[in-house]
């Protein structure tokens, strides 16, 4: 099964998602920020990228834009744990950038 790249800078969210994905048989590659996620993707591309929209080192929207430009076929999932007002605007923007499943 191809690896899933998970870009999330919050330890508890990253660990919980990794555990859930690995429990269903997926191989998960973890990145704790945008820069690390982009480097890992370029080194070992994944078929699916789960990317938090709020990252400390860079906007998740910027990561999504860059990944979409570099690899148009990659499946992207935008994740947000922000409040309802922030979530809706940013998730709408993520969808407009071609994410496959903003959540």
pTM for the whole structure: 0.83
- Cα 91 to Cα 13, 42, 53, 84, 101, distances in angstroms: 18, 25, 8, 10, 9
Task: List the domain boundaries for the chain.
Answer: 4-96
CATH architecture of 4-96: 3-Layer(aba) Sandwich (3.40)
Other C-beta atoms closer than 10 Å to the C-beta of 54 total 16
For 31-51, how does the pLDDT look when each residue is reduced to its tens digit (9 = 90+)?
Answer: 999 999 999 999 999 999 999
DSSP per-residue string spanning 62-100:
HHHHHHHHH-TT-EEEEE--S-HHHHHHHHHHHHHTT-S
**pLDDT score, position 59:** 84
């Amino acid at each position: 099964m191809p690896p899933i790249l998970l870009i999330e800078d919050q330890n508890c969210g990253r660990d919980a998602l990794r555990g859930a994905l690995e429990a269903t048989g997926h191989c998960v590659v973890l990145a704790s920020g945008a820069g690390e996620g982009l480097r890992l993707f370029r080194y070992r591309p994944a078929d699916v990228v789960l990317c938090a929209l709020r990252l400390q080192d860079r906007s998740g929207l910027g990561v999504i834009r860059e990944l979409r430009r570099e690899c148009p076929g990659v499946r992207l999932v935008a994740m947000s744990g922000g409040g309802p007002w922030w979530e809706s605007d940013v998730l709408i923007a993520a969808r407009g950038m071609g994410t496959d499943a903003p959540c």
